[in-house]
Amino acid sequence: MSIRFDSETRIFVLETAHTSYHMKVDALGHLLHLYYGKTIGSGDLMQLYPRTDRGFSPDYYAYRTHRGISPDLLPQEYTGCNVGDFRLSCVTVADNRGAFGADFTYVSHTVEAGKYQLNGLPCAHAEENDAETLIVRMQDEVTGLTLELLYGVFARQDVITRAARLTNHGDTPLRLDKAASACLDLPFGRWDLLHFHGRHAMERQLEREAVGTHIQTVSSVRGSSSHHNNPFLILCRQDATETSGACYGVMMVYSGSYQMDVERSQTGLVRVVSGIQEERFAWNLKPGETFDTPEVILSFAAEGLTPLSQQYHRFLRRNICRGPWKDKRRPVLINNWEATYFDFNTEKIVKIAEKAASLGVEMMVLDDGWFGTRNDDNQGLGDWVVNCEKLPGGLDPLIEQINALGMKFGLWIEPEMVNENSQLYRTHPDWALTLPGRKPAMGRNQLVLDFSRPEVVDYLAEAIGKLLREHHIEYIKWDMNRSMSDVYSRAFPAEQQGEIMHRYMLGVYALAERLTQGFPEVLFEGCAGGGGRFDAGMLCYYPQIWCSDDTDAIERLTIQHGTSFGYPVCTMGAHVSACPNHQTGRTTPIDTRAVVAMSGTFGYELDLGKLKRAECTAVKNQIKRFKRLNDLIRTGDYYRLTDPAENAYFTAWQFAAEDGSEALLNLVVTHPQANPLPIHLCFRGLEEDAVYELDGIDYFGSQYTHDGGNAIEDGIHKGMRFSGSTLLYAGLVLPQLFGDYPSVQLHLTRKG
Ligand code: DGJ
């Protein structure tokens, strides 16, 4: 049993393979958080929170003459509202007199096999009985508001998921102005906050800063989890590295506006509260109604950032991603976006596909522009009817030709958006989110459809469902290309307008659920102008997400590096594109582009017909190599060997099979130097006592030859054997590489 309750001490203990999570129902019935971290044994944890009377921290009424037992000082599992805890709060609730207040006390609890599910929201699921659920029921006696704290304990994965369920059991309506998913109080120590900020075409840039005494917020108000801040943060000891030091991860399973706040209190206790964005949120809870918050995924690693990332990688692959594709090799695809943009017709696409098929590509994806009047990005969204001028006879003749080449066919859609010039908008102008009496702010000249309205979701389920039913489409790229502004739904009364942002997300999830359940064989790839909605919520429906609209291999190194802290490489859409690169104008060797894209879902996004013969041979070989390495890359443990922010010379990363049987080291020179220090790297994740053979060395770019090549001859070469411990602790020195952005892949196989 990974969940225990001692009815005498009223202490809950949640155990995972390497962590313990303790909480206690105190004498007044409040649920105190006592500990989360490396596994501990017995001993009174209340001594960690001595009774100290601190000025201006109010005492519970029952202790008004004892002093020092204050909601403001004790670690809480989930705070009340307006009852004396002045740190970050979890809930803001008002009754129909306008009185803000809630004070939750313990009522009961249950422990169940399996994993709780949430109403209308994506969340982790159990696989082969690998989860248990704890539900702690609490109640605010005055309002009748009940709180169920939901805990999913995934013992083997070292993960605890949390969510909250609020139900109005009173007689009068309540309004939630804030309803967080979870609170995590860490008692002692100095912490760094790692978060992943960015912008369009530059997502998930790692930033590490000390947790200060002010509130630090990672959030989005854009209606999507956003390019600008990913809904994932890490708190680690200030001396923590990739391989040492305590690290906590907090990841939201949510794709809309969210808020994750971190605060160090007057006693040094650090609190993290995560949940739906408070701004413009107000949810009405009539008697009998229930509100489920999104889920958060907590994980702890005692030995650094790498194990923490690997825990998330395994968990997301196993317990977040669903459907037949989650564990399967994904087809190597070619996407026509950067090859043609809107300027294509059947002939052009077939030509690209023919070339692609001859090189080993397995799927042709037709991107934006195949429908309605979509000849540029100012028009056409909303009417999902094929443009027969570009594609005479419709999609089928094209699909048939693609299939005849032995390739699958995939299609781009953007179901959440509409242009004013569409039939859909002319028929249903009220289906777009716009503010009364104001001209809406436009993003890419498009408006956001009001997904809070079930009829909008129904319409799109039918329109997209029809496409999938009537044509042989095996992949869908679901794009979303603007931030939400002018949020106002004509379907809801004034008092419910604060619900629309969240209802919108529930509508998106409802459509994603219907399409993925209705068409389970279709591979879905998420996208929001690249990685603007790269989160665990979306990964519950799509096993992969287009990582960024920036396809420049060198820029992708930092984007994929940042993404790797929380998300496995099999979820990162990555393609080889043309050079000079369309976003940066940079030219990189085609093999370096492939080395980077291989640490993702791997595909191409360029007109292969324009490649030189040698480049075509390179592509053929890349695909062969990727097919050989696919399982190792997709399921292996991922190691960051360098930090692009600190190492300007090169970036290196590695995969090791979970059973230690093989490994792949990847390296890209990002800033060639005339007289560099040797490239020295130690492998990770190998078995110390095993013997490994260096059976694959691919240098992409020329080697340094000023010494007549001696450096290479003296150095490593194919067929060399090393013990695991030599590779782990002495490491290897790689030859110096020459030219613009060369790269290397080294493959090791265990031989004994
Ligand atoms: C943004 C996506 O990220 C691109 O890959 C492409 O699909 C365009 N949208 C199409 O409009």
With a pLDDT cut of 70, the percent of the chain lying above it is 98
Residues 6+ apart with CB under 8 A from 39: 15, 18, 19, 20
Output the pLDDT for position 661.
98
Q: How far apart are CA 667 and CA 679, in angstroms?
A: 10
**How many CB atoms are located within 10 Å of the residue 669 CB?**
26
| Angle at the Cα of 443 from the Cα atoms of 487 and 597, rounded to 5 degrees | 115
Last residue of a domain, one of 583, 599, 630: 630
Output the pLDDT for position 737.
87
Instruction: For the chain, give the mean pLDDT.
Output: 96
Give residue 718 CA to ligand 1 midpoint distance, Å. Answer: 41
Give residue 586 CA to ligand 1 midpoint distance, Å. Answer: 20
Q: Is residue 327 part of a domain?
A: no
Beta bridge partners of 475: 410, 523
Does 490 share its domain with 626? Answer: yes
Q: How far apart are CA 237 and CA 713, in angstroms?
A: 44
Among 593, 471, 574, 568, smallest CA distance to 527 is for: 574
pLDDT in tens, 310-334: 999 999 999 999 999 999 999 999 9
pLDDT in tens, 2-27: 999 999 999 999 999 999 999 999 99
Does 289 share its domain with 408? Answer: no
DSSP strand pairing (691-703 vs 737-750)? antiparallel
Does 254 share its domain with 384? Answer: no
Among 361, 380, 385, 449, smallest CA distance to 419 is for: 380
Does 555 share its domain with 693? Answer: no
Q: Dihedral, CA atoms, 284, 288, 293, 295, nearest 10 degrees?
A: -170
The half-sphere exposure of 604 on its side-chain side, counting CA atoms within 13 A, is: 32
Q: Is residue 251 part of a domain?
A: yes
Q: Is residue 644 part of a domain?
A: no
Last residue of a domain, one of 320, 348, 383: 320
Q: How far apart are CA 318 and CA 126, in angstroms?
A: 9
Output the pLDDT for position 715.
87
Output the pLDDT for position 196.
98
Domains identified in the chain, total number:
3
Q: Is the CB of 342 under 6 A from ligand 1?
A: no
- Is the distance from CB of 728 to CB of 691 less than 8 angstroms? no
Q: Which residue has the higher pLDDT, 709 or 219?
A: 219
Q: Is residue 640 part of a domain?
A: no
pLDDT in tens, 294-313: 999 999 999 999 999 999 99
> If DSSP codes are grouped into helix, strand and coil, which group holds residue 31?
strand
- Is the distance from CB of 623 to CB of 360 less than 8 angstroms? yes
pLDDT in tens, 40-77: 999 999 999 998 999 999 999 999 998 999 999 999 99
- Judged against a pLDDT cut of 50, whether residue 145 lies above it is answered with yes
Does 470 share its domain with 619? Answer: yes
What pLDDT band is residue 713 in, cutting at 50, 70 and 90?
Answer: low
Six token digits for residue 738: 């020459």
Q: How far apart are CA 9 and CA 122, in angstroms?
A: 35
pLDDT in tens, 245-304: 999 999 999 999 999 999 999 999 999 999 999 999 999 999 999 999 999 999 999 999
Q: How far apart are CA 558 and CA 645, in angstroms?
A: 8
pLDDT in tens, 524-565: 999 999 999 999 999 999 999 999 999 999 999 999 999 999
Does 258 share its domain with 141? Answer: yes
Phi and psi at residue 606, to the nearest 5°: -165, 170
Output the pLDDT for position 709.
47
- Judged against a pLDDT cut of 70, whether residue 705 lies above it is answered with no
CATH number of 302's domain: 2.70.98.60
Does 337 share its domain with 473? Answer: yes
Does 620 share its domain with 659? Answer: no
Ligand 1 atom closest to the Cα of residue 367 is 7
Q: Is residue 645 part of a domain?
A: no
pLDDT in tens, 571-585: 999 999 999 999 999
Q: Is residue 419 part of a domain?
A: yes
Does 590 share its domain with 671? Answer: no
Last residue of a domain, one of 267, 285, 320: 320
pLDDT in tens, 381-427: 999 999 999 999 999 999 999 999 999 999 999 999 999 999 999 99
Does 112 share its domain with 168? Answer: yes
Domain of residue 253, residue span = 3-320
Query: What average pLDDT does range 88-107 have in this prediction?
Result: 98
CATH number of 656's domain: 2.60.40.1180
Q: Which residues are catalytic?
A: 479, 549
pLDDT in tens, 434-484: 999 999 999 999 999 999 999 999 999 999 999 999 999 999 999 999 999
Q: Region of 556 please: left (phi>0), alpha (psi -120 to 50) or beta.
A: alpha
Does 235 share its domain with 306? Answer: yes
Q: Is residue 185 part of a domain?
A: yes
Q: Is the CB of 380 under 6 A from ligand 1?
A: no
- Is the distance from CB of 206 to CB of 565 less than 8 angstroms? yes
Q: Is residue 457 part of a domain?
A: yes
Q: Is the CB of 103 under 6 A from ligand 1?
A: no
CATH number of 559's domain: 3.20.20.70
Q: Is the CB of 527 under 6 A from ligand 1?
A: yes
Q: CA distances (Å), 381 to each of 296, 552, 650, in order?
A: 34, 28, 43
Does 340 share its domain with 296? Answer: no
